[in-house]
Structure 1
Amino acid sequence: MYTPLKQPRLRPIALALASLFLLDASHQAHAQTQPEAQSEAKDMAKLDAVVVTVQRRKEKLQDVPVAATAITAADIDARGISNVADLASLAPNLQISPTPGNSTAVQIAIRGSVTTNPALSWDPTVGMYVDGVYVGKSQGSVFDLVDLERVEVLRGPQGTLYGRNTLAGAINLVTKKPSGQFGGQVSVDVGNYKARVTKLSLDLPSAGPLKVSVGGRTEQRDGWVKTAPGSSVTQLNNRDNQAARLAATLELSRDLVLDYRYDKTKVDQNSRFSQVVRSTVDKDFGFPSGIVVSTGGRVENAAVDGPSFERMNIQGHALTAEWKLNADNTLKYIAAKRDMDWKDALDLDGSPVAFAHTQRLSDFKQTSHELQLIGAAGPVNYVGGLYRFEDEGFTSNPQTFFSGGANFDSRYGFSTKADSVYGQADYRFADAWTLTAGLRHTSETKSTERYNAAVSPTGAVLAVIVPQGTAASTKFTATTPLLSLGYKLSNEVSVYGRYSEGFKSGGFNGEAGTVQEATTPFKPEKLKSFELGAKSTLLGGRMMLNVALFNNDSTDLQQAVFTATGAAASDIRNIGKANSRGIELEAVARVTRDFKLQAGYGYLQTRYKEYPDATGKNVADNVAVVHAPRHTLNLVASGTLLRTSLGELRGTADYSFTSSHYLYPYQLTTVNPALQTAANTRVDGVGLVNLRLSLSEIELGSQASGELALWARNAMDKQHIANKIDFGPGFGNLTQAYYVDPRTVGVSFNVRW
């Protein structure tokens, strides 16, 4: 029943390893001519301690008994990270794919758990947080953040401290706080495809108790897919976006501090090209020839006739009040509001033939309130809190097929109200032993309304499929515990065992094709996880090595099964049980003061334990597990190659590899020819290389310094398909592919003061 997955050649790995060697060799050659400097470097060659807030309080990463990866400000700059989409493969068993057709929504998988459909009525499996504020949906989750200081990737259920929709893990995006001292930086990037990125960050002098910083970012880039004359747009896969940020800190007293954050992102660009790689439309429907099928690799010239755009406008406000009650206890209140206007249009047939066109016109808003008590009492550290989250949204999803021969007016709305109470405590009952226990209880209400009708090209209703006023609501609760035991073998090495649970919210299928489907809720998906881990600091602080082994069992697994029997949609089902298990390795070594190596590897084995088909038969052995690559690998070498009177020559080589995986839960072996086959939505493994060479610390007067950098992303110009849509045999086997960007190269200039 198993279909082997094609693995890539290892030449990119060899290139990355060669880059590591060359960086090291260059440094060593330089250092050998300066024995005194070499001795000094060895004395200073220690890793900086990374401080994180994964347990709602500041701790060293190596002291936290959870599998977590932290990416610091230096790595963020060197690796060109500006949003969550840039994190693909940067942590073991983390897999990120752009959703088909657009660039502002992603599918994030951790340890094989994923939400594939970006529809607003469905919740993500991985929770994303910006400065402690939860971002409710995957649609619109790719927005650029100015002044990003740290990224934390937490793997495994985070149901106690983070709550709903962190079944697979959580990603924390942390921005810089205003310093109160005048300073800032401005940078300009220029690259191929007429790419232009400008960034500005400015810290203002404090005004009494008030500290303020502001920032902005703009990006424009021509599309790498050019369209023929007469097409509906002149290009596809372009970039046009702006982002802004305001941060303010008001110290009302020594013990009471208010922090306000505002962020805004605006996107107005064309959609990604839907390259058809498989189709039997002509034969099956007698449809006039014209749909172009391109299987020979990435296409950079096309012709389209349908609307093709992607527009997003997001605004977020967050206010945090932190009151230090005494030396050991702090009360924190976080209030937040986010609004999103998101629209896209896709020419799904990728041709000048009007065969399949869709649009999603969405509005979404969310509010949240959280009250936390963070403190300590002797050997006990504790966190407790109350949390409320509300959202509401609406999507109009017009669709047209067969040159207007089949048109649908599809709309749905939804709302959520969720309340929870939680607590977690660490008890150090002996010098080397720490016991952690936590519990969270969540009560949630979901509501939906649905309308769907077949309409004429002029909009006249031909047949009502789901009547206006179709609505439903449901309530459910979940209790998610945590139990962890940690033991310090020495000051440098600790081990832990952890049991945790998480859940993803239930709800209603907004894209439902029948009244029954629209009003029948699907249940929350639940996951139970056992994890064993070890964290170590070796070689006198020059090396960090972390290991985690895990076993996850999922029940009431939510799967989106794409259908094309009328309006294109996905049916969401609780399909049974699944298991995933694996190992994760992370290592960082500061070879010398100037040279650092980083490596992360994840191995993942997943399978369905129960997967009933339409007749109730268990077909678990013949269904593909989705977005679950067997191997993920990331290698980074960075260092100072040469010091000159002008500045420091620094280099970074970044290699990430993701093995082959499937995109939809289709049959592995074709038993029913009327259904899709998994092999048609399989993506090959790929290794991508990013390179950066910079001249840094260039003196520009007494108060400023500059950096000039050359960079290349996808340096090997891999023609890799990141995602697909398979309409299946019932719709002419129309299958679109969405490629990663080709090689982009450029130069950056940065000034700091």
Structure 2
Amino acid sequence: MKRVFIKTQLSTIIGLYLSSSLVYAQTTEQDTDEDLGLEVIEVTAQKRVQNLQELPIAVSVFNSEAIREQGISDVEDLSLFAPNVQISETPAGSTGATIAIRGSVTINPAITWEPTTGVYIDGVFVSKNVGGLFDVAAIDRVEILRGPQGTLYGKNTIGGAINIITRKPAGELGGEVRVGAGNYGLSDFYVSADSALINDSLSLNFTANKRDRDGFYDNLSANSPITKFKELDSLSMRFAALYEHSETLNFYYVYDSSDKDLTPPLGQVNIPSLMPDDVKSRQESAALDGVDFDRSKSTGHALTVTWDAGKDLQVKSISALRDIDYADTVDADGADLIGFHTVRRVKHEQFTQEVQFIGSTGEINYVGGLFYMTEESDADNPFTLGFGTLNNFYGVETESMAAFAHADYDINEKLRLTAGLRWTTEEKTLYIERPDDFSFAFFFPLARTTANDTWNNTTAMISLNYELADNIQTYGKISQGWKAGGFNGEAPNAELAIKPYDAEEVLAYEWGLKSRWLDQRLQANIAVFYNDVTDMQMSEFLGAYSDIQNAGSANISGLEVEIVAAISQNLSANFNYGLLNTDYDEFITFDVVTGLPNEVTNTAEFPYSPEKKWSIGLNYQAEISVGQLIVSADYSYVDDHFPYHNQPSADFTRIASYSIFNARITLSEIAGSNFDLAVWGKNILDEEYRINGLPVADATGTFIGGLNYYGNPATFGVELSYRF
């Protein structure tokens, strides 16, 4: 039985990692090594089915086999093996997403701020980072696109896009049941079932995944309701219905939900003046009284209607509703006392409608579309500072509309021209209210205050793709990206809250080489890029509030190398390397109290932008007497980097370089049956490493250290699955 496995982060490296992504190469089933070859992978990154190696775009692809084998349930698990991509939990919570691609990132998941990377589920844009690390059942494929995405995807984004495609109903009776267990009391139950065709036109699929785990660390505080940090209680479900009305018209409905009821992660205080700041040392316990819950629930409804209109034209409509209900608590003082605690309760609803026109005429292939989104987000975000609680309410309503077009033209047999254009208008309305009749720090009572503004933009891209020889292509591309401006709901006063910050723009240059050698047994892909960013939106955590300002300008350049090799009939290997160079051309901040300028061009850091990232992996497959044996292992390295741009917050929360080793052994089709058995390990060497943090201030408001959060310790488990 032939299988293709794609490499991912925390578990095994299985399969194929193609294009400007790291895709594992699994050999074809031939009798001799001379007949080995890498599989051809087709994706829909440009809204139609294309060979990944022929696309003038940097994209990482992970298929369903790898996702299943590695237990991947959210986008964080994909981070290590996509060059110049850094994905992390947000500080103090396990379900907020911080996603950085090529140095572009939104570090605060506040509902009034825009993400730099678009996350899509079955073509539906997920507009908020808060609650962004939700579980998704029945994933068929994930595509991570690096670089500005403005002319193809529903929302214009600066850094890139993460496109999650769930599995469509198979149209025949069948399914899978999987049970798993591991250390720290882990239990994992997964079931997926497909119906047979109903009336020859309707097919259904239902999938559910329940995961539970004890906490990793002890909470020693008698004043907190939780005794363990980072307990896991997660239920994700998905229902899909495909109705094929005719050969030219079908309807595809998907409902998905993710319900996480966790305990907060452990915040570890590091104050250099009082204790050694050992960024590699992870505590096993702490006493925090202000940590109660870390919950998120997200649901989505999506209806996709596809009509083949004839004459090489397909019309597709994607209508969707999504909502997020999120709540967490933060003990920001890092001690067992009523110092600085916060609670954040968020409700978010969005509606999106996209219409796409996909077709060809002569030598031109095109995608055109219209996009509309409206969203409403509300936050109840009280602060407690020792002597009292300040109630704090804010929210934003957004209406976004866009029209886009993208086309490619074969100038001759070797040269292809691709171009795209997008127009966007986005309107936002902010409200903020603090009804309390006392004040502290910079906070003062605020009557309900509102602000409104609109941002407009037109972006373009153009690329040339040239075939140097069989299986060797090179491309050059110029593209623009844009992120709308907005308002700061976490501002300390009304004056700053109603003052809009500007839109962020990027002009990106990219050259790439995609190649296969040695009878398609070796794949080598290279991408080099240079991004010129203006009005970079930078968030600064200042204790009891946050500030967001536009950096004057910055340049980001980098290199991405990905190599895949089919070494023998049974053994494949891969290597990927990302290099990132970041510089501010000009960065002047303005003090929120005095209004005076502060030159930080030479001292500010780039958040979540390690200079070097690389990984290496091996995958071995062989038929043995009792089934098919699959052994895989991967080793990944991430360089030093910082969660914040401003000092001293950046130094107090610095993330030292770290390495992760994962492995997995699977015995599939045991004794000719439909049973598979696997054992796995993640972070096997128990590397102690930070992933994010919050600066800690003294009584005068001066930052003196960091409240830092660490990656998971070594975990191990076993899985038994049965296909029917």
- Same fold per superposition (TM over 0.5): yes
Which residue of 550, 566, 570 corresponds with 1:594?
Answer: 570
Structure 1: how far apart are the matches of 2:536 and 2:190?
Answer: 42
Structure 2: how far apart are the matches of 1:296 and 1:596?
Answer: 33
Q: CA deviation at 1:397?
A: 0.6
1:643 aligns with 2:640: no
Match of 1:659 in 2: 639
Structure 1: how far apart are the matches of 2:133 and 2:611?
Answer: 25
Change (3 A) 1:699 1:505: farther
Which residue of 496, 501, 523 corresponds with 1:544?
Answer: 523
Q: CA deviation at 1:143?
A: 1.0
Change (3 A) 1:622 1:347: closer
Instruction: Report the 3-state secondary structure (helix = DSSP H, G, I; strand = E; otherwise coil) of the residue aligned with 1:249.
Output: strand
Match of 1:733 in 2: 704
1:111 aligns with 2:93: no
Q: CA deviation at 1:482?
A: 0.6
Match of 1:397 in 2: 381
Determine if contact 2:354/2:369 at 8 Å carries over to the other structure. yes
Q: TM-score with structure 1 length normalisation?
A: 0.88
Structure 2: how far apart are the matches of 1:195 and 1:48?
Answer: 35
Match of 2:584 in 1: 608
Q: CA deviation at 1:279?
A: 7.4
Aligned residues with identical type, % of pairs: 36
Which residue of 52, 55, 64 corresponds with 1:73?
Answer: 64
Q: CA deviation at 1:521?
A: 0.7
Structure 1: how far apart are the matches of 2:442 and 2:63?
Answer: 56
Listed as ranges, the matches of 1:254-293 within 5 Å are: 254-278=247-271
Q: CA deviation at 1:145?
A: 1.1
Which residue of 682, 690, 715 corresponds with 1:744?
Answer: 715
Instruction: Report the 3-state secondary structure (helix = DSSP H, G, I; strand = E; otherwise coil) of the residue aligned with 1:749.
Output: strand
Structure 1: how far apart are the matches of 2:284 and 2:194?
Answer: 42
Match of 1:559 in 2: 538
Structure 2: how far apart are the matches of 1:577 and 1:350?
Answer: 35
Match of 1:492 in 2: 471
Listed as ranges, the matches of 1:147-546 within 5 Å are: 147-162=138-153, 164-208=155-199, 209-228=201-220, 230-232=222-224, 233-278=226-271, 297-402=281-386, 405-452=387-434, 465=444, 467-546=446-525
Determine if contact 1:416/1:446 at 8 Å carries over to the other structure. yes
Structure 2: how far apart are the matches of 1:509 and 1:616?
Answer: 19
Instruction: Report the 3-state secondary structure (helix = DSSP H, G, I; strand = E; otherwise coil) of the residue aligned with 1:556.
Output: strand
Q: How many residues align?
A: 691
Q: CA deviation at 1:543?
A: 2.3
Structure 2: how far apart are the matches of 1:163 and 1:696?
Answer: 40
Match of 1:672 in 2: none
Change (3 A) 1:677 1:645: closer
Determine if contact 1:78/1:652 at 8 Å carries over to the other structure. no
Structure 2: how far apart are the matches of 1:217 and 1:401?
Answer: 40
> What are the ranges of 5 or more consecutive residues in structure 2 without an aligned counterpart?
1-8, 14-27, 591-595
Change (3 A) 1:715 1:327: farther
Determine if contact 2:279/2:654 at 8 Å carries over to the other structure. no
Q: CA deviation at 1:653?
A: 0.5
State the Cα deviation string for residues 440-480 of structure 1 (Å, max 9, x = none). 00011011000135567xxx999972522200000010111
Match of 1:622 in 2: 603
Q: CA deviation at 1:622?
A: 1.8
Instruction: Report the 3-state secondary structure (helix = DSSP H, G, I; strand = E; otherwise coil) of the residue aligned with 1:489.
Output: strand
Determine if contact 1:453/1:463 at 8 Å carries over to the other structure. no
State the Cα deviation string for residues 186-223 of structure 1 (Å, max 9, x = none). 11110000001111111111102001111000110000
Q: CA deviation at 1:661?
A: 0.7
Range with greater deviation from structure 2 (341-350 or 599-608): 341-350
Range with greater deviation from structure 2 (724-733 or 581-590): 724-733
Change (3 A) 1:537 1:733: same
Structure 1: how far apart are the matches of 2:530 and 2:441?
Answer: 52
1:573 aligns with 2:573: no
State the Cα deviation string for residues 589-640 of structure 1 (Å, max 9, x = none). 2222322212211100001001013343543112112211101112221121
Change (3 A) 1:677 1:361: closer
Determine if contact 1:344/1:359 at 8 Å carries over to the other structure. yes
Q: CA deviation at 1:327?
A: 4.9
Task: Considering fraction of residues, name the structure with more helix.
Answer: 1
Change (3 A) 1:38 1:243: closer
Match of 1:10 in 2: none
Match of 1:717 in 2: 686
State the Cα deviation string for residues 510-551 of structure 1 (Å, max 9, x = none). 111111111011111101100011111222122221111100
Q: CA deviation at 1:296?
A: 7.8
Structure 2: how far apart are the matches of 1:372 and 1:716?
Answer: 48
Q: CA deviation at 1:175?
A: 1.1
Determine if contact 2:332/2:694 at 8 Å carries over to the other structure. no
Instruction: Report the 3-state secondary structure (helix = DSSP H, G, I; strand = E; otherwise coil) of the residue aligned with 2:310.
Output: coil
Q: CA deviation at 1:44?
A: 4.7
Match of 1:34 in 2: none
Structure 2: how far apart are the matches of 1:90 and 1:574?
Answer: 31
4+ residue runs of structure 1 moved beyond 4 angstroms?
Answer: 291-296, 453-456, 460-464
Determine if contact 1:347/1:356 at 8 Å carries over to the other structure. yes
Instruction: Report the 3-state secondary structure (helix = DSSP H, G, I; strand = E; otherwise coil) of the residue aligned with 2:306.
Output: strand
Change (3 A) 1:363 1:528: same
Determine if contact 2:675/2:723 at 8 Å carries over to the other structure. yes
Instruction: Report the 3-state secondary structure (helix = DSSP H, G, I; strand = E; otherwise coil) of the residue aligned with 1:78.
Output: helix
Determine if contact 1:127/1:169 at 8 Å carries over to the other structure. yes
Structure 2: how far apart are the matches of 1:419 and 1:38?
Answer: 49
Determine if contact 2:649/2:694 at 8 Å carries over to the other structure. no
Determine if contact 1:275/1:294 at 8 Å carries over to the other structure. no
1:57 aligns with 2:36: no
Structure 2: how far apart are the matches of 1:72 and 1:361?
Answer: 35
Structure 1: how far apart are the matches of 2:55 and 2:176?
Answer: 33
Range with greater deviation from structure 2 (428-437 or 445-454): 445-454
Q: TM-score with structure 2 length normalisation?
A: 0.92
Instruction: Report the 3-state secondary structure (helix = DSSP H, G, I; strand = E; otherwise coil) of the residue aligned with 1:86.
Output: helix
Structure 2: how far apart are the matches of 1:584 and 1:487?
Answer: 19
Instruction: Report the 3-state secondary structure (helix = DSSP H, G, I; strand = E; otherwise coil) of the residue aligned with 1:516.
Output: helix
Structure 2: how far apart are the matches of 1:620 and 1:176?
Answer: 47
Determine if contact 1:91/1:634 at 8 Å carries over to the other structure. no
Determine if contact 1:388/1:417 at 8 Å carries over to the other structure. yes
| Equivalent residue letter for 2:369 | G
Instruction: Report the 3-state secondary structure (helix = DSSP H, G, I; strand = E; otherwise coil) of the residue aligned with 1:444.
Output: strand
Determine if contact 2:649/2:695 at 8 Å carries over to the other structure. no
Which residue of 656, 659, 677 corresponds with 1:684?
Answer: 656
Determine if contact 1:448/1:510 at 8 Å carries over to the other structure. yes
Instruction: Report the 3-state secondary structure (helix = DSSP H, G, I; strand = E; otherwise coil) of the residue aligned with 1:268.
Output: strand
Structure 1: how far apart are the matches of 2:547 and 2:466?
Answer: 46
Instruction: Report the 3-state secondary structure (helix = DSSP H, G, I; strand = E; otherwise coil) of the residue aligned with 1:625.
Output: coil
Structure 1: how far apart are the matches of 2:653 and 2:327?
Answer: 26
Determine if contact 2:30/2:36 at 8 Å carries over to the other structure. no
Q: CA deviation at 1:163?
A: 5.2
State the Cα deviation string for residues 323-381 of structure 1 (Å, max 9, x = none). 00115110000001101110011222333212121110000001100111000111100
Range with greater deviation from structure 2 (726-735 or 422-431): 726-735
What do you get for the CA RMSD once the two structures are aligned?
A: 2.3
State the Cα deviation string for residues 547-577 of structure 1 (Å, max 9, x = none). 111000100110001112xxx2210101210
